[in-house]
Structure 1
Amino acid sequence: MRILYDPSPRATEDIFSASAKEKFFSTYDVIAWNGEDRDDFYRRHLPETEVLISQQPMERDRLDLAPKLRAIVNVETNFLPNVDYEACFQRGVHVIAPSSVFAAPVAEMAVGMALSLARGIHASHGDFLNGEELYGLDGNHTAELLAGSDVGFVGFGDLGRATHKLLAGFNPTVRAFDPWLPEGVLSRLGVIPASLDDVLSKSRFVFVVATITTENAHLLNAEKLGLMQQGAKLLLLSRAAVADFAALAEAAASGRILVATDVFPEEPVAKDDPIRKIPNILFSAHRAGALTSALENIGNYVLEDLGQIARGLPPVACKRAERETVMRIRSKPIDKS
């Protein structure tokens, strides 16, 4: 099976273990882009390409050069608006991405941050370093239990479900808002279907794990954040654009809610960005999913689905672009610069 391989901005060493890399290059006829003129490279090799591993634009003019194409694999893991998806659907070309590899590591970070907000772990550590620690009950005057609490999810895809699974031992009451899922599906997944207002107003912990779409930019604005309970915790772990960061910072600065975030509107965050000095925010530098094991699973998932495609079967490890939703997704491309 002929594969045109252009994983940039990912590096081969990041997404394939040594053994997976050897299997990939020894099993398939791989034509790798090595820095030459891309347009010329694609013009020369697309006519014989059966699988394209690339994040480069694939509009109709390029697709027309690839009559044998069976799948496009995006190892950057986002579905970007640079593909003629409708043409792919019409031609039976799978467009897939191994995005679920990040669900488990991000979910672990989500639970860890929730516990830190609930029990003041990060704040009390700082107090101790500064010689300002409070012992016993005095050090727990704002603490609360995650166990048995009311938890809400904004979005309930792979990340929401992975986080929900980790929370099971805490026996919370869980509500979820996801406009792309019917209530019956949410109920069968073990959560209470709820409106966004109910999730925000009834939860002590709100996990924001929705992808960014054409409908939900700044979904969590000042009005919606105002529905949250005094002292409630909001954890932002998916896409920064879902929240109005100015409103989020204001709500945290007032002390009305506590916030944890792993994502930001612009990254890296400027050294003089005022958000760095906002109290009641637990910061993480977009590192929740950035583990070697997660990145190498990209290669593992790709190999699994290449095997499927080679046998004339549909891909099952990676997430497939869906006609009804893919052009509504607005994820930013990763920046490896």
Structure 2
Amino acid sequence: MIALCLAPGLREMFLPPPIWARLRRLAPIGPLERAQVLITGWDTPRVDAETLTRAPELRLVAHTGAAVGFLVSDALWERGIRVTQTGAAMAPAVGEVALTFTLCLLHQVHRFDHGLRSGSGWAETRSAARPRRELRGSVVGVVGASRTGRAYAGLVGAHGAQLLLADPTVSAGEAAGLGATLVELDDLLTRSDVVALHAPAIPATRHLIGRRELALMPDGAALVNTARSWLVDSAALLDELRAGRIDAALDVFDEEPLPADSPLRGLPNVLLTPHQAAGTEEARHRQGTLTVSEIARFLAGEPLQHEITRDQLRWTA
């Protein structure tokens, strides 16, 4: 038996008719009380001890998103329930948005758009922008060789950027295989025209980019964050952006939805999107397909390809 804890809109998004039909061929859809598999989404409450008392047969949680930290509990791990997720399905879309952000920042598209929309004159808008740069030949620093980081590195490298990578879990040889030079974070921040964040949200990365780190970025450099706001000291970033020293493109925020009175909304050197980097139709369908494939493997007694264990979660949340 498979139980779903997805709002109708999410079910339609991840499980359109062909994918839904494949899921229903695997096992009946029914209540949590009789389910061996639970499909979850962003709106699913934590699977805690109280929830598990209603699910005596549960053996697998198949999450349609990537981050599962909000979802899992000690009680779940102690019951030996397995967890799988779909981060791999989202990486191509997030990589493309990070590339889009990078191009916009280098070419000052965000400043031009802000100037024209706010009523500035044609010549004034043009003169207010910084000198533009092409991606080819620019130094791009990638913080984190995650799935999205690797997707982004491939796209940026194909456009002729010089890639730097900071990731303590990656060897110099692995970085070279991605077309990047492995460096320490401080070195990356000092040398990069664009810094793109793709690190996981784990205790060790809380405010990885703080006031000291932001100060290392050269005047006119740019920050791209399609990962998690967890990685950045938002107050320190706001100070730098208000000073106009650096530019940024942000898809993630400490408070979501972004408040209407957020000072970020009025800054000409900031490009904002509403946490939708992974929101393509193709990515959503890949997420649904991957979820169903993992369930099929689980029911057939085959190894899961996208399992997250308790130990892994401490390092790769």
Corresponding residue number in structure 1 for 2:169: 180
Corresponding residue number in structure 2 for 1:241: 230
**In structure 1, how many angstroms separate the alpha carbons of the residues matched to 2:113 and 2:46?**
47
User: Aligned with 1:312: secondary structure?
Assistant: coil
Work out whether 1:4 is the aligned partner of 2:3: yes
Structure 1 residue 90 displacement after superposition: 8.1
Corresponding residue number in structure 1 for 2:36: 50
CA offsets 1:164-205 (integer angstroms, 9 cap, x no match): 111122222211112333444333333221111011111111
Alignment root-mean-square deviation, CA: 2.8
CA contact (8 A) 1:10 1:76 kept: no
Number of aligned positions between the proteins: 312
Work out whether 1:95 is the aligned partner of 2:83: yes
Work out whether 1:194 is the aligned partner of 2:183: yes
**In structure 1, how many angstroms separate the alpha carbons of the residues matched to 2:235 and 2:106?**
23
Work out whether 1:256 is the aligned partner of 2:245: yes
Structure 1 residue 140 displacement after superposition: 7.1
Corresponding residue number in structure 2 for 1:295: 284
Corresponding residue number in structure 1 for 2:311: 324
Corresponding residue number in structure 2 for 1:16: 15
Change (3 A) 1:128 1:87: closer
Structure 1 residue 60 displacement after superposition: 5.7
CA contact (8 A) 2:205 2:231 kept: yes
Corresponding residue number in structure 1 for 2:28: 29
Change (3 A) 1:59 1:273: closer
Indicate the larger mover: 194-203 or 210-219.
210-219
Change (3 A) 1:12 1:82: closer
**In structure 2, how many angstroms separate the alpha carbons of the residues matched to 1:192 and 1:324?**
29
CA contact (8 A) 2:38 2:58 kept: yes
User: Aligned with 2:110: secondary structure?
Assistant: helix
CA offsets 1:110-130 (integer angstroms, 9 cap, x no match): 111111111112322444554
Corresponding residue number in structure 1 for 2:200: 211
CA offsets 1:235-269 (integer angstroms, 9 cap, x no match): 11110121111111211222221111111110111
Q: Equivalent of 2:153, from 153, 159, 164?
A: 164
**In structure 2, how many angstroms separate the alpha carbons of the residues matched to 1:306 and 1:266?**
33
Q: Equivalent of 2:302, from 313, 317, 335?
A: 313
CA contact (8 A) 1:216 1:242 kept: yes
CA contact (8 A) 2:157 2:179 kept: no
User: Aligned with 2:188: secondary structure?
Assistant: helix
User: Aligned with 1:25: secondary structure?
Assistant: helix
**Paired-residue identity, %:** 25
**In structure 1, how many angstroms separate the alpha carbons of the residues matched to 2:10 and 2:115?**
41
Change (3 A) 1:83 1:120: closer
**In structure 2, how many angstroms separate the alpha carbons of the residues matched to 1:108 and 1:277?**
25
**Amino acid across the alignment from 2:39:** I
Indicate the larger mover: 266-275 or 119-128.
119-128
Matches within 5 A, 1:64-143: 69-84=58-73, 88=77, 91=80, 93-128=81-116, 130=119, 132-134=121-123, 142-143=131-132
CA offsets 1:303-323 (integer angstroms, 9 cap, x no match): 21122222211122xx32134
**In structure 1, how many angstroms separate the alpha carbons of the residues matched to 2:278 and 2:292?**
21
CA contact (8 A) 1:101 1:298 kept: yes
CA offsets 1:2-52 (integer angstroms, 9 cap, x no match): 2222235972111112111122123322215xxxxxxxxx4x32xxx3322
**Amino acid across the alignment from 1:51:** V
Change (3 A) 1:269 1:126: closer
TM-score by length of 2: 0.87
CA offsets 1:207-249 (integer angstroms, 9 cap, x no match): 0122211122112111110000111111111101211111112
Which 5+ residue runs of structure 1 have no aligned equivalent? 33-41, 331-337
Change (3 A) 1:248 1:141: closer
CA contact (8 A) 1:86 1:323 kept: no
Change (3 A) 1:202 1:131: closer
User: Aligned with 2:203: secondary structure?
Assistant: coil
